[in-house]
C-alpha cells in the first residue's frame, strides 16, 4: 500500500510518497497499514521478482479484501480534506 501526494501542498507537507505515519491516524489504523504493507511484501519472491507470486488465489483475495477495508477506513478517518484515489487494482476482487 502506497500513498502518493498528487499536488504541491500535499508533497510539501507529507512528501512523495506520503509517509502514512505523518497523517495523525489512530494507532490501530497505523498498525494495520504497516501490517498490510508487510503482507504485500510476501507476495513477491524477492530472489526472482519477475516470477509468479507465491500467493494462492485465496490469499490474494483475502489481501485484496483487507486492502479495500483499510482504504474505506482511511477515507472515513481523513474525511473530505483528503482526496483518496484507488489505483490498487484490488477493488471488486475480494
- Copy the grid coordinates of residue 74: 482511511
| Domain range for 35 | 23-81
Sign of CA dihedral 15, 18, 21, 22: positive
pTM of structure: 0.78
Evaluate whether residue 46 is within a structural domain.
Answer: yes
Q: Report pLDDT digits (tens) over 34-86.
A: 999 899 999 998 888 888 899 999 999 999 999 999 999 988 998 887 778 78
Evaluate whether residue 3 is within a structural domain.
Answer: no
**Alpha-carbon gap, residue 62 to 12, rounded angstroms:** 35
**Alpha-carbon gap, residue 37 to 19, rounded angstroms:** 12
- Please choose, from the candidates 64, 22, 16, the residue with its C-alpha nearest in 3D space to the C-alpha of residue 72: 64
Evaluate whether residue 38 is within a structural domain.
Answer: yes
Evaluate whether residue 94 is within a structural domain.
Answer: no
- Copy the grid coordinates of residue 92: 471488486
Evaluate whether residue 92 is within a structural domain.
Answer: no
Number of domains in the chain: 1
Amino acid at each position: 500500500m502506497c500513498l502518493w501526494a498528487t499536488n504541491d501542498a500535499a508533497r510539501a507537507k507529507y512528501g512523495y510518497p506520503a509517509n502514512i505515519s505523518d497523517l495523525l491516524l489512530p494507532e490501530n489504523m497505523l498498525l494495520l497499514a504497516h501490517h498490510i504493507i508487510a503482507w504485500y511484501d510476501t507476495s513477491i519472491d524477492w530472489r526472482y521478482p519477475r516470477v509468479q507470486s507465491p500467493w494462492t488465489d485465496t490469499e490474494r483475495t483475502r489481501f485484496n479484501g483487507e486492502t479495500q477495508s483499510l482504504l474505506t477506513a482511511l477515507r472515513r478517518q481523513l474525511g473530505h480534506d483528503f482526496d483518496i484515489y484507488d489505483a490498487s487494482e484490488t477493488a471488486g476482487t475480494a
